[in-house]
Amino acid sequence: MKKLVLFGLAACVAMGLQTSFAAKEEAKGTALCLSATFAAADDYEYCYLNFIEKEDEFSIPKGAFLEYDMFIPKTSAGFSGGVDLGGGSLGTLRDNGGEAGCKDQDGNSPHPAGNAENAKGAWWHRKIDLGPIAGESFMDAILAVDAGKDHKAGVYKAYYKNIQITDGKGKVLIDLFTNKDKVPIGDVTEHAVKDMSDYGLTVVPLSAVK
């Protein structure tokens, strides 16, 4: 009986250590943070900021997906947002890609105006099918918040990690942002902004996301 008790205690300790190690692993790396301020509650406002802006074009491969993880703190003034692609022959993922039929795993449009409540206080993984726009090109990668209602006046904030174009099976075809120590573009540029202020992009350690 004593042996069984000791074995049980050892197993519990091992499980606790594994959980601790998993938590530490999750805290490693960095996230890209978009912050901006809504001027008024429920007013139509948006902020699109380039985190990549290239002279050369990226070509969207066949069978590709845009994947990323998104987290919006519960204290944020709004709960919409997403990653957009722009420039080149594509125009924008939010409009032209959406019209072409690009959707995520839940059947939602890639437009950043969509509801992102799944990311409220938790990491939410999105996987957007780029099949309908295969062969098109883009030059800009963009973080955005786009809201016409259901938001407060005040500070909006959202974090992103593992922003990648993949084959949908785990292979990274184009890495847009994964554990980088600075914003890829260097000096952040506006893609489109309406009425929002105090906006910017920063890189933070994952341990600071909460």
Q: Is the pLDDT of residue 79 over 50?
A: yes
Q: Per the structure, how many domains does the chain have?
A: 1
- Give the span between the Cα atoms of 136 and 23, in whole angstroms: 39
Six token digits for residue 93: 């993922």
Q: Quick check: is 102 in a domain? A: yes
Position 3 in a domain: no
Q: Are 183 and 93 in contact (CB under 8 A)?
A: no
Tens digit of each residue's pLDDT (9 = 90 or more) over 7-26: 343 444 444 434 333 334 45
- Let me know if 97 is exposed, middle or buried by CB neighbors in 10 A (0-12, 13-18, 19+): buried
Residue 141 is assigned to a structural domain of this protein: yes
The type of residue at 146 is: D
90-148, pLDDT tens digit by residue?
Answer: 999 999 999 999 999 999 999 999 999 999 999 999 999 999 999 999 999 999 999 98
Q: Is residue 98 helix, strand or coil? A: helix
- pLDDT score at 165: 98
Decide if 19 is inside a domain: no
Whether residue 6 lies inside any domain: the answer is no
CA atoms 180, 182, 186, 187: torsion sign: positive
- Report which DSSP code applies to 97: I
pLDDT tens digits for range 24-59: 445 689 999 999 999 999 999 999 999 999 989 999
Confidence of residue 187 (pLDDT cuts 50, 70, 90): confident
Does residue 40 sit within a domain? yes
Task: Tell whether 73 is covered by a domain.
Answer: yes
Q: What is the pLDDT of residue 152?
A: 97
149 band by pLDDT with thresholds 50, 70 and 90 = confident
74 — phi, psi (to 5°)? -65, -20
Closest among 48, 39, 44 to 150, alpha carbons compared: 44
Residue 20 backbone phi and psi in degrees, to 5: -65, -45
Q: Which domain holds residue 198?
A: 27-205
Quick check: 157 pLDDT over 80?
A: yes
CATH number of the structural domain spanning residue 96: 2.60.120
Torsion of CA 154, 141, 54, 202, to 10 degrees: 40
Say yes or no to pLDDT of 199 above 70: yes
Q: Is residue 166 part of a domain?
A: yes
